[in-house]
Structure 1
Amino acid sequence: MGKREQKKNPPRPWVRRCLFAAGALAMGLAVTVAVQWIVTGSVFQEVWPWFVESPGYLLLTGLLYGVVIAFLGAATGSLAAGGAITAVLALILSLVDYFKNAINGTPLEAADFGMAGQLGEVAGVAGELRPPKDFWMALVALVLCVGALVLLRRFTRLQKRERLGYGAVCLVLGVFLCSGVGAKLVGPVFGVDVYTRTAASVSHDRYGLTLSLWRDCFLQSMAGPEGYSQAYMEDVLAQIDELTADYAAGEGSGEAPNVIMVLSESFYDLTRLPDLTYERDPLENFHALQSESISGTFHSHYLGYGTGYLEMSMLQGITGLDFNPGTNICFLTDDSYSRLDAMPWALVNQGYTAQMLHGYNDSLYNRTITYPRMGFSKLLFSQDVQQLGFDWKGGMYGGYYLMDSYLFEGVLHQMEEINAAGSPAFLYAITMENHQPFDAEKFNYECQIGVESQTLSEENMAIVRVMLEGITRADQALGALTDALREVERPTIVVFFGDHRPNLFMTDGDTVYTKLGLCPSNDAAEWTPQQVNDLYSTDYLIWANDPALLKGQAGTRQESSITALAPQLLELLGTPVSRWWALQNEVRQFSLTNTDLYFVDGEGRAYASAAEAPLTEEQHHILELRSAVTYDAFYGKQYITAAMNEPAGS
Structure 2
Amino acid sequence: MQKILNRLRSGITALNQRRDRNTGRYAVTNFLLTSLFPLFIVCMAELNQDKYPSKLILFCVERPSVMIFNVLMAALIFGMLLLLFKRGWRAMAVQSFVYMLLSVIELFKFGTNGNHLLLSDMKLANSLKSISSFAYIQITPQLITYLLVVTAYVGAAFWFNPRQRLKLSRRLISAGACLATFAAIVAVPPFAAIVAVPGVSSTVYGLFDVDTSEADNTFQLNEKFDNNSFLAFFVQTTSEGLANRLREPEGYDPDAIQTMLGGNVDQTGQNGKERPNVIVVMSEAFADFRPVAKQLGLQTNAYKQFDAVGAEGCKGTAVVPTFASFTVRTEFELLFGLPVRSLNDPNMPQQLMKDRPQPTLARYYKENGYATAYVHPFLRTFYNREEVYSNFGFDTMLFEDDFTVDVNYYGAYIDDETVFNQILKLVQDTDQPLYLHTTTMQNHQPYNKGEDPDAEFDNYLTWIARTGDSLRAFTNALKKLDEPTIVLFVGDHFPSLKGEDSVYDQLGINGNNCQVLYEQSYYLWSNYKLDYSGVPDTELSAFYLPYVVMDLAQIPRDSYLQRMHDKMQSLPVYATNYDPDGARDSMLDMLTYDRICGEDLSGQELIEKTEPETKN
Read off the aligned partner of 2:131 and give its amino acid letter.
V
- 2:117 is matched with 108
- 2:540 is matched with 560
In 2, distance between residues paired with 1:205 and 1:117? 29
- 2:5 is matched with none
1:68-79 matches, cutoff 5 A:
68-79=77-88
2:204 pairs, out of 182, 185, 190, with 190
Residue 354 of structure 1, CA deviation: 0.8
1:542 and 2:524 matched = yes
Cα distance per residue 1:164-206 (max 9 Å; x no partner): 6324421453256333254454423312699997447265455
CA contact (8 A) 1:313 1:319 kept: yes
- 1:449 is matched with none
- The alpha-carbon distance between structure 1 residues 285 and 553, as it changes in their structure 2 partners (threshold 3 A), is farther
2:592 pairs, out of 630, 633, 639, with 630
CA contact (8 A) 1:302 1:500 kept: yes
- The alpha-carbon distance between structure 1 residues 401 and 221, as it changes in their structure 2 partners (threshold 3 A), is closer
In 2, distance between residues paired with 1:69 and 1:532? 40
In 1, distance between residues paired with 2:174 and 2:493? 48
1:252 and 2:271 matched = yes
Residue 576 of structure 1, CA deviation: 2.2
In 2, distance between residues paired with 1:241 and 1:351? 26
1:215 pairs, out of 239, 245, 249, with 239
Read off the aligned partner of 1:304 and give its amino acid letter.
A
- 1:90 is matched with 99
1:285 and 2:305 matched = yes
Read off the aligned partner of 2:46 and give its amino acid letter.
Q
Q: Secondary structure at the match of 2:282?
A: strand
For structure 1, the 5+ residue unaligned runs are 1-6, 446-457, 520-525, 600-606, 612-619
Read off the aligned partner of 1:102 and give its amino acid letter.
G
Residue 88 of structure 1, CA deviation: 1.9
Residue-pair matches, total: 568
- 1:349 is matched with 367
Q: Secondary structure at the match of 2:279?
A: strand
- The alpha-carbon distance between structure 1 residues 181 and 396, as it changes in their structure 2 partners (threshold 3 A), is closer
CA contact (8 A) 1:262 1:497 kept: yes
1:610 and 2:582 matched = yes
- 1:402 is matched with 414
- 1:169 is matched with 174
- 2:138 is matched with 130
Read off the aligned partner of 2:174 and give its amino acid letter.
V
Q: Secondary structure at the match of 2:350?
A: coil
Residue 467 of structure 1, CA deviation: 0.8
1:303 and 2:287 matched = no
- The alpha-carbon distance between structure 1 residues 280 and 545, as it changes in their structure 2 partners (threshold 3 A), is same
For structure 2, the 5+ residue unaligned runs are 1-20, 610-616
Residue 584 of structure 1, CA deviation: 3.3
CA contact (8 A) 1:110 1:326 kept: no
Residue 44 of structure 1, CA deviation: 5.2
In 1, distance between residues paired with 2:442 and 2:22? 69
1:361-510 matches, cutoff 5 A:
361-385=379-403, 388=404, 396-418=408-430, 421=431, 423-439=432-448, 442-443=449-450, 445=451, 460=454, 462-506=455-499, 509-510=500-501
1:587 pairs, out of 564, 567, 588, with 567
- 1:237 is matched with 258
Residue 283 of structure 1, CA deviation: 2.0
Cα distance per residue 1:493-527 (max 9 Å; x no partner): 01111111211223xx342221x3241xxxxxx42
In 2, distance between residues paired with 1:633 and 1:407? 31
In 2, distance between residues paired with 1:644 and 1:63? 54
Residue 537 of structure 1, CA deviation: 2.7
Bigger mean CA offset, 22-31 vs 369-378? 22-31
CA contact (8 A) 1:37 1:134 kept: no
Cα distance per residue 1:139-160 (max 9 Å; x no partner): 455456546756764xx4223x
CA contact (8 A) 1:267 1:499 kept: yes
In 1, distance between residues paired with 2:517 and 2:287? 10
- 2:11 is matched with none
- The alpha-carbon distance between structure 1 residues 635 and 331, as it changes in their structure 2 partners (threshold 3 A), is closer
Read off the aligned partner of 2:418 and give its amino acid letter.
Y
CA contact (8 A) 2:363 2:607 kept: no
1:517 and 2:507 matched = yes
In 1, distance between residues paired with 2:61 and 2:338? 38
CA contact (8 A) 1:330 1:366 kept: no
Cα distance per residue 1:266-307 (max 9 Å; x no partner): 122234423566776222211112222221223222222211
Cα distance per residue 1:508-567 (max 9 Å; x no partner): x342221x3241xxxxxx421xx322123332101011122x34469x955333222112
CA contact (8 A) 1:194 1:215 kept: no
RMSD: 3.7
Residue 643 of structure 1, CA deviation: 6.8
1:35 and 2:49 matched = no
Read off the aligned partner of 2:99 and give its amino acid letter.
A
Read off the aligned partner of 1:517 and give its amino acid letter.
L
In 1, distance between residues paired with 2:569 and 2:51? 43
Cα distance per residue 1:26-78 (max 9 Å; x no partner): 423332333333335566556754785472x5445434433332333344432
Residue 466 of structure 1, CA deviation: 1.4
Under a length normalisation based on structure 1, what TM-score does the superposition of the two structures give? 0.77
Under a length normalisation based on structure 2, what TM-score does the superposition of the two structures give? 0.81
CA contact (8 A) 1:358 1:380 kept: yes
CA contact (8 A) 2:352 2:597 kept: no
In 2, distance between residues paired with 1:284 and 1:415? 26
In 1, distance between residues paired with 2:203 and 2:346? 23
Read off the aligned partner of 1:543 and give its amino acid letter.
W
CA contact (8 A) 2:370 2:435 kept: yes
Identity percentage over the alignment? 20
Residue 350 of structure 1, CA deviation: 0.8
Q: Secondary structure at the match of 2:498?
A: coil
